């Protein structure tokens, strides 16, 4: 019976580890990344995940005509550069931060409402290492009112 309790405790701890990492990543997005949207107003969504060197992710989001937007990509300091592109639904590249010295933000205004794809990739570190680096990466969206 004691062995069953030990196994249950181990399984419970293992089940909580990914949740704990995800909550830490969301907390990082709220405390660190949200500040970089100023003077834009955060849209209220926290899109964050733990990524490892070489991994990529995509997020689909609808943007509306005539609205000023800011996309800000925020990553843990331990991570190498983060590449990001904004593409339309036909996968035409609208913005590529590799052409802008890996800038982490892009301000834009669309002429027509459309769904866009935010594609990002954590670059591999320079040099040879045996261990891949992982860290939190957040995609933040801000809206700026016209005055």
Task: Indicate whether this model's pTM tops 0.95.
Answer: no
Class of domain 2-144: mainly beta
Give tens-digit pLDDT for 45-86: 999 999 999 999 999 999 999 999 999 999 998 899 999 999
d(CA 24, CA 75): 13
Give tens-digit pLDDT for 89-100: 999 999 999 999
133 against 10, higher pLDDT: 133
Strand order in the sheet with 82-87: 56-63, 114-122, 82-87, 93-96
Is the backbone peptide bond immediately before 46 cis, with ω within 30 degrees of 0? no
Give tens-digit pLDDT for 8-46: 444 444 443 444 445 688 888 888 899 889 999 999 999
Helix or strand or coil: residue 106? strand
Helix or strand or coil: residue 29? helix
Task: Note whether 62 and 118 are within 8 A (CB).
Answer: no
């Amino acid at each position: 019976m004691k062995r069953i309790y030990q196994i249950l405790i181990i399984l419970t701890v293992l089940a909580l580890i990914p949740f704990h990492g995800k909550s830490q990543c969301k907390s990082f997005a709220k405390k660190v990344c949200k500040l970089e949207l100023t003077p834009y107003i955060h849209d209220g969504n926290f899109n964050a995940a733990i990524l490892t060197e070489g991994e990529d992710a995509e997020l689909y989001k609808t943007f509306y005509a005539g609205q000023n937007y800011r996309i800000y990509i925020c990553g843990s300091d331990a991570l190498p550069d983060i590449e990001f592109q904004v593409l339309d639904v036909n996968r035409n590249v609208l913005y590529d931060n590799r052409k802008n010295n890996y800038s982490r933000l892009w301000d834009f205004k669309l002429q027509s409402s459309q769904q866009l794809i935010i594609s990002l990739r954590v670059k591999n570190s320079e040099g040879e290492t045996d261990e891949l680096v992982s860290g939190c990466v957040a995609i933040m969206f801000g809206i700026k009112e016209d005055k």
